[in-house]
Amino acid sequence: MKSRDTKFLARYRMRYCAKKSLIKPIHERVIK
């Protein structure tokens, strides 16, 4: 169960990060 939960959380986190990056692509480019 723990391993499954961690995998689910990791996927959710990746999706959230991707959405955030899509929302603020210019800012990220400027920072980089």
| Residue 16 pLDDT | 81
User: Cα–Cα distance between 20 and 6 in angstroms, integer?
Assistant: 21
The tens place of each residue's pLDDT in the chain, 32 residues long, gives 577 888 888 888 888 877 776 666 666 666 55
| 21, 28 contact by CB (below 8 A) | yes
| Residue 28 pLDDT | 60
Tokens at 23, concatenated? 């929302």
Eight-class DSSP state of 24: S
The reported pTM is 0.41
